A and B are shown apart, each in its own frame.
Chain A
Amino acid sequence: MTERARSRPSTVAAVVAPGAAALLSAATAFALHHNPAPKAQPVQAAVPGTRTDDVAAARLRQQAKTADAELTRLRAQLAKLNSELAKADAAPVAPPRGESAAPPEDVVPAALEQVAPPASAPAPPVDASTGAS
């Protein structure tokens, strides 16, 4: 296994867990920001047949419902991110610089062809010739 591969998390969960915690805490902050704890409000008029506490409880239930919906949306987003991370984990890892993969079979060693140096004088006398096969 390469150094880079070793340094990668071995499972998606290891990556996802901290991400999920962050998202959940973000969801909570979002819910609290948009649905702050209810302040005590003066009751303008009592509705016949209801009590003030019941009205406050109903409002709180509505706020909890909204926060639940937001949490569901964030969970869906988290699931999508998990899926993308899993795909990235399954993709082949390129060899790091300086570490070569096995070469293709048809690769030949570097060509050794050179251009012969130019003549600086007439051809010297020869003992024999080769050419007319």
Chain B
Amino acid sequence: MTALLARPLVRRFATMGTTARVRVERPGPGAERAVDAVEELFGAVDAQCTRFDPASPLMRANAAGGWHQVPQWCYAALEEAAAAHVRTRRLFDPRVLTELVELGYDTSLPFATGPVSLPSRQSRPVRTVRVLPWQPRFDAAAQAVAVGPAAVDLGGIAKGLAVRWAVDLLRDSADTFFVDAGGDGYFAGAGPTGRGWSVGVEDPLGGTDPVAVLAVRDQACATSSTRLRQWRVGDRPAHHLIDPRTGGPSAGGLASVTVVGPDPAAAEVWSKTLFLHGADRISSVAATEGITALWVRDDGALGITGDIKPMLVWSRS
């Protein structure tokens, strides 16, 4: 009886430019320690993979111009990024760091506090169209990597991976929990009501109500959206979803893409990739790749793949 009435364990902490949240229903004896480990894990992944600290292992590897030893999370994240680059036929491309810096996103911008505006630049940002594939080299025995010649950004995929690794830490001590890190989440078990976790898909166009509510159970959920991380450079709008085919912010007619799947890192990669494919192609690409997705077009229209319908408990009219 005590266990049934136990309050859920909820932890919030700032990490990776967002606020992460962990919630464990009916926490057992080891739950508190597992959540501590999750918080430490996020801190370690952030420290190793951030691009906002020139002394981070990732930025040192970027600057090395050749082989460079990196710690475990950074090494694993680079390996996963390289695999995703191939899997998405190069549309997922971590080398867009150069373009983000050109657009003024060279420091952590205060998106949470309101509209961000940067001074206009003398010249238009340089756009690099990536023709050759990214081919980093890995030495597992030495845990060394050669990422160059272009510098890379692991922002999104590192967050998805942190969620994946956090789930591994929680599984031994909980069966009903979620880990949510600003757009990337995993929802284990049937949730508090037994009908799955109720996940609201935020309105990317700024509305306060969600555009849809999904019942998610033992699945990851990731959203790529321009709602939060967008800014202005002078009179020109910019956002963080860079299309490697053009070297500029994606302009494919989509405001957000949500992907549901078994793995948080893969869901993160595909939400970004489908976003870059744009409104005209998202449906056919999702069908071809077998991705479960929901998206909002720039005009507010909502689209879904057929297989997300059973999870859709509510959607905006």
Contact = CB atoms under 8 A, between A and B. Distances in A.
A78 B185 CA distance: 80
A98 interface: no
Given A116-B302, A119-B316, A127 B191 contact: yes
Q: How large is the interface on B (under 10, 10 to 19, 20 to 34, 35 or more residues)?
A: 35 or more
B23 interface: yes
B137 interface: no
A109 B303 contact: no
Mostly helix, strand, loop or mixed at chain A's interface? loop
A37 interface: no
B235 interface: no
Contacts of B284: 108-109, 111
A127 B304 CA distance: 21
Contacts of B223: 130-133
A129 to B, nearest CB: 5
Given A109-B288, A117-B315, A123-B210, A128 B180 contact: yes
Interface stretch (B36-44, B70-78, B198-206): B198-206
Contacts, number: 133
Contacts of B213: 123-124, 126
A116 B315 contact: yes
A22 to B, nearest CB: 56
B187 to A, nearest CB: 7
Interface in A65-119: 108-119
Contacts of B225: 131-133
B182 A132 contact: yes
A133 B156 contact: yes
A19 B125 CA distance: 76
A114 B199 contact: no
Interface stretch (B83-91, B245-253, B306-314): B306-314
B286 A128 contact: no
A2 B132 CA distance: 45
B183 A130 contact: yes
A121 B314 contact: yes
A19 B271 CA distance: 68
Nearest to A131: B202
A125 interface: yes
Nearest to A133: B183
A112 B271 CA distance: 17
Interface string A20-51: 00000000000000000000000000000000
A88 B271 CA distance: 53
A130 B314 CA distance: 15
A113 B302 CA distance: 10
A116 B192 contact: no
Nearest to A130: B223
Contacts of A127: 23, 178, 187, 191-192, 197-199
B197 A128 contact: yes
Given A128-B187, A129-B210, 15 more contacts: A112-B306, A114-B305, A116-B303, A116-B315, A118-B317, A119-B315, A123-B200, A123-B209, A129-B180, A131-B183, A131-B203, A131-B256, A133-B223, A133-B224, A133-B271
Interface of B: 18, 21, 23, 156, 178, 180, 182-185, 187, 191-192, 197-204, 209-210, 212-213, 221-225, 227-229, 256, 258, 271, 282-288, 294, 301-307, 309, 312-317
28 contacts: A111-B287, A112-B305, A113-B303, A113-B304, A114-B304, A114-B306, A115-B303, A115-B304, A116-B302, A116-B316, A118-B315, A118-B317, A124-B213, A125-B198, A126-B200, A127-B23, A127-B178, A127-B192, A127-B197, A127-B198, A128-B198, A129-B202, A130-B200, A130-B201, A131-B204, A131-B228, A131-B258, A133-B223
